[in-house]
Amino acid sequence: MSEYIFKLPDLGEGTVESEIGEWFIKVGDHIEEETVVGTMMTDKAAVELSSPVTGKVLKLAGEPGDIVAVGAPLVVIDTEGAVVADSETVEAASSEQPAAVEQTAEPVAVAAAASPAADAPAASLDEPIERSRVMTSPAIRRRAKEADIDLTLVPGSGPGGRILRKDFDSYLKARATGMTYAASAAPSTNVKEIKIIGVRRMIAERMSAAKREIPHFAYVEEIDITELEALRKHLNSSRGTDDRLTLLPFLGLALIKALKEFPQCNVTHDKNRNLLLQHDAVHLGIATQTPDGLKVPVVKHAEMRSLDGLAAEVRRMSLAARNNSAKKNELSGSTITITSLGKLGGIASTPVINSPEVAIIGVNRAVERPVVLNGQVTVRLMMNLSSSFDHRFVDGYDAAAMIQRIREMLEHPATIFLPG
């Protein structure tokens, strides 16, 4: 036997260890050179690793969620007789298959017997439900007597199993159609254990560190976006569905312009050197919900982009984050972040700062409301803009002044496009 030990390589960014995200192989598999064996999680992204050799998998370093040090064995591969491994594996698998089926049959039966409540059949309409006494209203008792119905047969969904009117009506309907009526399920005592691994572990660590280390100063301002929405709809009237504008690129341009006046908010904190790094470039993070959890793809040099250019890049980066095609460098390096819950935006929020940044802007839901304008009550489209700032480095006055500047531009959208 000739063993090859595939060690965890250096994944960059000073990584000394990495978490196993997912295995695509198992012990006993025959793999070819360049086969993707699994993913390893860094602080920024999931990195796919490929086998450098062909052979049979003898050993894996651990389970998803386990931590492996850089340079430590990750996969042990038998490279001897790799060419004939396929046929031998197929033959062995076909001879061992019946035994595997035989072994799994009994545990399945035991598991089913251990939890009868989970798969309890629907109660028959003529099968009394065990209860010490029937609790219901006099009106239900009268209806039951008139219909010659035994109330012990009717499941109750009220407190203590009390039969409500809807329970009685449902029972009558089921009885008339000859259907069975499912009795109320027994309270479940099952507790599912979910291992905190992968992207969820990284999110948990980053959120905990941000709230533990950063004194957040939250600020919420109400903004009249009636004129902005009219402009957005006008521009979209001549566009296809693939390039329609959302509110985000308008907010992005307004934020970029405001940061020229408030450069102390376009800063990252280097805590190891005790320095603030003030950036001329605006690398705009866009907090994006994905099936794997929250990710922050970054629009690099957003200050160089037009409205359409910014909108297109936001769409591209958000899609890449959702389908896991974003490169590692596209998920890091932001200098300020915008977060939005879309239609679920709520009235206000207190977004958590994306460390090492010092500010984050949160978009809330836009709703039509009556407001007083020029002494008259009128209906306007209003939206709250929530924000958080690192109070160690951004004073409350400067934070509020920057949000007010953004409000002015969004309420008078033509000013977003003026030079300067």
From residue 221, give the alpha-carbon distance in Å to each of 363, 399, 407. 11, 11, 8
pLDDT of residue 281: 97
Residue 40 has pLDDT above 60, yes or no: yes
Find out whether 17 and 39 touch, Cβ atoms under 8 Å. no
Q: What percent of the chain has pLDDT over 70?
A: 84
Identify the active-site residue in 29, 43, 279, 391: 391
Q: 143 pLDDT band (50/70/90 cuts)?
A: confident
Identify the active-site residue in 234, 395, 398, 412: 395
CATH of the domain at 150: 4.10.320.10
Residue 209 in domain: yes
Q: 120 pLDDT band (50/70/90 cuts)?
A: very low
Which of these ranges, 179-193, 230-244, 264-278, has the smallest mean pLDDT? Answer: 179-193
Which of these ranges, 9-13, 307-311, 408-412, has the smallest mean pLDDT? Answer: 9-13
pLDDT of residue 364: 93
Q: 191 pLDDT band (50/70/90 cuts)?
A: confident
pLDDT of residue 181: 52
321 and 404 assigned to the same domain: yes
Run of H or E residues at 379 = strand 376-390
Run of H or E residues at 93 = helix 85-114
pLDDT of residue 88: 41
The string of pLDDT tens digits covering residues 55-65 is 999 999 988 88
CATH of the domain at 345: 3.30.559.10
The stretch 77-89 carries a mean pLDDT of 58
Residue 86 has pLDDT above 70, yes or no: no
The two beta strands, 284-290 and 293-295, are antiparallel
Q: Which residues pair with 38 in a beta bridge?
A: 23, 49
Q: Confirm whether 216 is a catalytic residue.
A: no
268 and 345 assigned to the same domain: yes
Q: Which two tokens stand for residue 240?
A: 């296809």
Burial call 318-352: b when 16+ CB within 10 Å, e when fewer = bebbbeeebeeebbbebbbbbbbeeeebeeebebb
Residue 191 in domain: no
Highest mean pLDDT among 104-113, 121-130, 197-206, 401-410: 401-410
The stretch 131-159 carries a mean pLDDT of 80
Range of the domain at 403: 198-417
pLDDT of residue 44: 66
Q: Going by C-beta distance under 8 Å and a sequence separation of 6 or more, which residues neighbour residue 24?
A: 35, 36, 37, 38
276 and 399 assigned to the same domain: yes
Q: 180 pLDDT band (50/70/90 cuts)?
A: low
Could you please report the per-residue DSSP string of 120-156?
A: PPPPPTTSPPP-SS----HHHHHHHHHTT--GGGS--
CATH of the domain at 74: 2.40.50.100
Nearest to 291 by CA among 313, 316, 314, 321: 321
238 and 179 assigned to the same domain: no
Q: Confirm whether 395 is a catalytic residue.
A: yes
The string of pLDDT tens digits covering residues 201-210 is 888 888 999 9
User: How many structural domains comprise the chain?
Assistant: 4
CA contacts within 13 A on the Cβ side of 353: 29
Q: What are the residue ranges of helices labelled H in 226-375?
A: 226-236, 247-261, 307-322
Residue 232 in domain: yes
402 vs 397: CA distance, rounded Å: 9
164 and 302 assigned to the same domain: no
Q: Which residues pair with 67 in a beta bridge?
A: 19
Could you please report the per-residue DSSP string of 234-258?
A: HHHTTS-GGG---HHHHHHHHHHHH
pLDDT of residue 100: 40
Q: Going by C-beta distance under 8 Å and a sequence separation of 6 or more, which residues neighbour residue 146?
A: none
From residue 134, give the alpha-carbon distance in Å to each of 8, 91, 129. 66, 64, 10
Provide φ and ψ at 350, rounded to 5°: -125, 80
Q: 123 pLDDT band (50/70/90 cuts)?
A: very low
Across the chain, what does the average pLDDT equal?
83
Of 89 and 222, the structure prediction assigns the larger pLDDT to 222
294 and 206 assigned to the same domain: yes
3-state secondary structure 215-227: CEEEEEEEEECHH
- Angle, helices 165-177 vs 138-146, to 10°: value is 20
158 vs 241: CA distance, rounded Å: 49
Q: 178 pLDDT band (50/70/90 cuts)?
A: low
Q: 95 pLDDT band (50/70/90 cuts)?
A: very low
pLDDT of residue 290: 86
